[in-house]
Every structure is written in structure tokens, then in C-alpha cells.
């Protein structure tokens, strides 16, 4: 894996994005309106700014993410920079959600494309902004913190269909960080054309907050 030195979005033309119902495009909004940090979720205040960031390098996608099939949407990692990442997704006809979306015309749902960008960002957090020196995604009870919990999506735009057999390139860049909350900008390309772009926020929170009151035995049985 190489280092992504330059902005993934430098020189890109987003003028083709259709306006929303209010007649405005997301790129018409001031940057502070697009990426204003979301600070009202109390669980996101549980990690102190004093925790250092630990860097990790692993061999497989599964070593960075807790997601597993059939919900693991990232097939491979192309490169990880200091604040950006590029990944690849191979769209297989065997993906469960394609059986019902839609019979006779299988199309990847927009929500799953959003998931591709958030999983890619989650890999970046685990690799570059990890509050844990020791990190293990193969034991659901090992890590003290849950990384990359989605708390906000803003400005998603869908510009084309994604079908079985397509190979997607996902590019995600960290725009701003406020303590344990991270603002990202992402896009997905299919055959060199942008089919989805978005802005979203992820947070690192305590694993106990994510697990809630689920009994450990029941959680272990589901692994």
C-alpha cells in the first residue's frame, strides 16, 4: 500500500450534481454548514482528547473492521494515507440484498453504497486514529472502544446504478476532527465515473455503549 499524499478530491468537478428540492446543491452551501461537527450525542464524549492515536498495519480488511459477511462491503485496500484511503469493492451476484433489490434488475441499494464509504473510513480510523495500542477485531470483547460509529450523513448524491459484476473504487478523505468525532467526504467510482458522493460523520465510542445490555453469552453465540 502506498501513501495518498494529495487530496483525493483536488481538481474534481462536482457541478453535474443535480440540485435538491430547495434548488441548492450541497456544494452551494458554505463549508461550515456542510461539515459542522455534530456534538449533541452524549456517548461520543466518553473518549478523552488526551488519548494518543496509534497506527496499525494489518494484512486483511477483516483485521481493521468488525464487519463480516454478508455485511462486509470492502473487498480490498488500495492505499492508506495520513488522512485518506482508497478501497475496492467487487460486487457479486451472490450478495444477499440483490435477491430482493430488485428481482430481474439487481441494483446495489444506495444505503449499501453509503456503507461502503463508512466502512472505508472505519479502516482509516483503525489504521491512523486508533485510541488502542492493542487492537483485535476477531474477538468482539477485546477492544475497549468501538471505532467509526455512524452518527450523521449529509449531502449524499447518487448518480448511477451499481450492478453485479461491477468493481467499485471508493475514495474517502478526513476533512475535520473534533475530539472523537470525524468528518469525512467520500465518493465511489464505477468504471471511472462517480456514482455516489457524500459527507458523513463517524465517532469512536466505548464498546460497552455499542453493546448495550446484550448478554455476553448471546453475543458470543451470534459470532
Catalytic residues: 101
217 CB-contact burial (10 Å; exposed 0-12 / middle 13-18 / buried 19+): exposed
Residue whose cell numbers read 486483511? 60
Quote the CA–CA distance of 81 and 188 in Å, as a whole number.
17
Question: What is d(CA 37, CA 195) in angstroms, rounded to the nearest whole number?
Answer: 26
- Mapped onto helix, strand or coil, the DSSP state of residue 136 is coil
Residue 130: DSSP 8-state = B
Question: Can you say how many angstroms the Cα of residue 138 is from the centroid of all Cα atoms in its chain?
Answer: 19
Whether the CB-CB separation of 126 and 143 falls below 8 Å is answered with no
- Write the DSSP assignment of 170-203 as a string of letters: EEEEEEEEETTEEEEEEEEEETTEEEEEEEEEEE
Q: Is 120 helix (H, G, I), strand (E, B) or coil?
A: helix
Amino acid at each position: 500500500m502506498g501513501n495518498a499524499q494529495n487530496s483525493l478530491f483536488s481538481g474534481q468537478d462536482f457541478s453535474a450534481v443535480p440540485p435538491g428540492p430547495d434548488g441548492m446543491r450541497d456544494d452551494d452551501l458554505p463549508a461550515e454548514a456542510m461539515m459542522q461537527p455534530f456534538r449533541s450525542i452524549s456517548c461520543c464524549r466518553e473518549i478523552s482528547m488526551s488519548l494518543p492515536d496509534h497506527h496499525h498495519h494489518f494484512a486483511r480488511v477483516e483485521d481493521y473492521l468488525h464487519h463480516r459477511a454478508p455485511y462486509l462491503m470492502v473487498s480490498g485496500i488500495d492505499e492508506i494515507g495520513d488522512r485518506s484511503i482508497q478501497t475496492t469493492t467487487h460486487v457479486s451476484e451472490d450478495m444477499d440484498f440483490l435477491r430482493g433489490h430488485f428481482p430481474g434488475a439487481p441494483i446495489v441499494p444506495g444505503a449499501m453504497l453509503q456503507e461502503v464509504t463508512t466502512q472505508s473510513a472505519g479502516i482509516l480510523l483503525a489504521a491512523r486514529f486508533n485510541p488502542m495500542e492493542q487492537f483485535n477485531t476477531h474477538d468482539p470483547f477485546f477492544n475497549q472502544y468501538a471505532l467509526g460509529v455512524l452518527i450523521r450523513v449529509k449531502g449524499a448524491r447518487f448518480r448511477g446504478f451499481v450492478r453485479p459484476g461491477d468493481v467499485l473504487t471508493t475514495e474517502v478523505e478526513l476533512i475535520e476532527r473534533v475530539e472523537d468525532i470525524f468528518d469525512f467526504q467520500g465518493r465511489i467510482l464505477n468504471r471511472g465515473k462517480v456514482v455516489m458522493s457524500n459527507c458523513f460523520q463517524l465517532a469512536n465510542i466505548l464498546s460497552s455503549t455499542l453493546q448495550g445490555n446484550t448478554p455476553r453469552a448471546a453475543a458470543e453465540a451470534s459470532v
